[in-house]
Amino acid sequence: MKKGKKLYEGKAKIIYATADKNLVIQYFKDDATAFNNLKKSKIEGKGVLNNRISEHILTNLGQIGIKNHLVKRLNMREQIIKLVEIIPIEFIIRNVATGSITKRLGIEDGTVLKEPLLEYCLKDDNLGDPLIAEEHILAFDWASKHELEKVKKMILRINDFMIGMFRGVGIKLIDFKVEFGRIKINGKSEVILADEISPDTCRLWDSITDKKLDKDRFRKDLGDLIPAYTEVAKRLGIFHEYSNVSAVNVTRLRSVKKKKKIREYQKLLHLKNMF
């Protein structure tokens, strides 16, 4: 499919027109930004990994009935997606408290939440994506009550599915951000999942060591972002050519209980490598 003119350039992606007015091309850049664009860098290969990981997750979500914008991946950096009208809200789901919520509310980092917590932020870089309430969304017509109810249901299913998917490969899904868009299906406006789901938009911790396998490696200057994203891709079975996944460094953990957990985990990785 031929790439037309650039329609929009964001911090991590570019959207191009195509000959079909309902479809656009989403290009994944290598740019990394944090703290509302104050910290910027180019990390070679990040776009390629996010393209593959997001394709994998959205395809799987599609298979359990979560309608989304992905049509197909075109190449290493591009996917064809349905053109949607983005709802200007970042929907954030937290299973474990870390990041902004710990600073905002003084909650201890790593606190496991009784149930998933949904937060809304207005998508506005100039305002620093402020936290808003459902009442704001309705008061300013950023989304209708009906749309919000549908989105909430989808988010809970997405969270349940992703917790299980990541748990199966030794990763804890700490939190993530998703975006939704409106599209006309048979003349009726529907809300579908849009944007991307990748280590740029999720917090992913190794189940045993709590090693960060996400964009916090960039935000917190931890380094090794590409090896971490590659580890996520490998564990999800995306890069079959690198199937000899080795367990992460666990030598610092000493308790008997932890050692048992490590052995179970290593067995799991070994099993996975056999396929």
Confirm or reject binding of residue 90 to ligand 5GP (CB under 6 A): yes
In the set 3, 31, 43, 99, which binds ligand 5GP (CB under 6 A)? Answer: 99
Give yes or no for residue 129 binding ligand 5GP (CB under 6 A): yes
Please identify, using beta-carbon distances, which residue of 55 and 245 lies nearer to ligand 5GP: 55
Q: Applying CB under 6 A, does 53 fall inside the site for ligand 5GP?
A: no
Examine residue 200 and tell whether it contacts ligand 5GP (CB under 6 A): yes
Sign of the Cα torsion 151, 153, 154, 158 reads: positive
Q: Which of residues 15-44 bind ligand 5GP (CB under 6 A)?
A: none
172 binds ligand 5GP (CB under 6 A): no
Q: What is the DSSP letter of 107?
A: P
Identified binder of ligand 5GP from the candidate list 176, 180, 205, 229, rule CB under 6 A: 176
User: Cβ of residue 156: shortest distance to ligand 5GP, in angstroms?
Assistant: 16
Q: Does 51 bind ligand 5GP (CB under 6 A)?
A: no
Residue nearest ligand 5GP by beta-carbon distance: 99
Nearer to ligand 5GP, 201 or 207 (CB): 201
Stretch of 77-85, 175-183, 254-262, 264-272 lying at the interface with ligand 5GP (CB under 6 A): 175-183
Question: What length is written for the chain?
Answer: 275
Among 46, 52, 77, 203, binds ligand 5GP (CB under 6 A): 203
Does 225 interact with ligand 5GP (rule: CB under 6 A)? no
- Helix, strand, coil content of the chain in percent (nearest 5): 35, 30, 35
Least distance (Å) between residue 19 CB and ligand 5GP: 30
Quote the strand ranges of the chain, DSSP E: 6-9, 13-17, 23-28, 31-34, 39-42, 70-73, 78-82, 85-86, 89-97, 111-122, 131-132, 171-185, 188-194, 202-206
Of 201, 207, 209, 230, the residue at the interface with ligand 5GP (CB under 6 A) is: 201
Question: Which residues does 64 contact at the CB level (< 8 Å), separation at least 6?
Answer: 157, 161
| Integer Cα distance of 74 and 70 in angstroms | 11
Structure-block tokens of residue 249: 């460094």
Taking CB under 6 A as the rule, does residue 62 contact ligand 5GP? no
Q: How many CA atoms lie within 13 A of 78 on its CB side?
A: 14
CB-CB contact of 214 with 204 (8 Å): yes
- Sign (positive or negative) of CA dihedral 221, 205, 152, 27: positive
| Residue with tokens 């860098």, as numbered in its chain | 41
Contact residues: ligand 5GP, CB under 6 A: 90, 92, 99-101, 129, 175-177, 200-203, 215
